[in-house]
């Protein structure tokens, strides 16, 4: 599966903590979620919100506050757009964990329109896809999936007509066991699932 916040007093900040000064671009390209919260980066993608990811108003980039990111050992200043091109299906953010003992780790959360968990399982069922037993978190069904080849693990939660994917990934010389990678994806899912509309 494809693979995301520096929010301080409601505005985006540079790494030095200074507010981002909106450019002419930001006045033409949407920079806020449906609730008016500013994205933690300045996007140049005029079609970041589009017909392929409008099935939920949930915005991963603004869903988690600084305190929650710190509790999860995620560096809020590393938030980047999960989409690499304009009009991409996925909409969300990618973050890196705080360096040190968490070096090599990243987490991403994004949304893309999807009929159901069952449809996602049918779509991703190659020999490289390993679907683990579904879980229940806050009364919601959570799909758990990992790759046989990569050091990654992701969850799927239905929100409206979209799936919310949370992907934990490790890049380094000695990958941790799959259970540790999945634990990180599940921790971020637990931190955000109550904010995902049904």
Nearest Cα neighbor of 88 from 184, 20, 155, 4 is: 4
Q: Mention every residue, 6+ apart, whose C-beta is less than 8 A from residue 86.
A: 44, 45, 46, 47, 48
The pLDDT, as a whole number, for residue 100 is 84
Burial class (CB in 10 A: 0-12, 13-18, 19+), 155: buried
What span, in angstroms and rounded, lies between the C-alpha atoms of 101 and 158?
33
Contacts of 172-176 with C-beta under 8 Å, sequence gap 24+, read 172/103, 172/104, 175/151, 176/151
157-185: pLDDT as tens digits: 999 999 999 999 999 989 999 999 999 99
Distance of CA 117 to the CA centre of its chain: 17
5-60: pLDDT as tens digits: 222 223 343 444 444 444 444 458 999 999 999 999 999 999 999 999 999 999 99
Residue 168: C-alpha distances to residues 39, 44, 70, 107 (Å): 21, 26, 16, 5
The pLDDT, as a whole number, for residue 14 is 40
């Amino acid at each position: 599966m494809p693979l995301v916040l520096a929010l301080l007093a409601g505005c985006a900040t540079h790494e030095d903590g200074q507010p981002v000064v909106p450019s002419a671009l930001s006045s033409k390209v949407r920079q806020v979620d449906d609730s008016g919260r500013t994205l933690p980066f300045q996007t140049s993608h005029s079609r970041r919100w589009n017909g392929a990811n409008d099935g939920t108003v949930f915005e991963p980039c603004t869903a988690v506050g600084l305190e929650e990111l710190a509790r999860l050992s995620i560096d809020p200043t590393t938030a980047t757009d999960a989409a690499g091109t304009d009009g991409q299906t996925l909409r969300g953010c990618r973050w890196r964990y705080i360096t040190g003992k968490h070096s090599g780790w990243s987490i991403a959360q994004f949304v893309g329109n999807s009929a159901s968990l069952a449809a996602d399982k049918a779509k991703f069922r190659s020999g490289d896809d390993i679907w683990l037993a579904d879980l229940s978190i806050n009364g919601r069904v959570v799909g758990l999936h990992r790759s046989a080849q990569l050091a990654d693990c992701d969850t799927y939660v239905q929100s409206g007509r979209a799936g919310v994917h949370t992907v934990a990934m490790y890049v380094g010389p000695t990958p941790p066991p799959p259970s540790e990678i999945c634990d990180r994806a599940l921790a971020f899912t637990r931190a955000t699932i109550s904010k995902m509309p049904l």
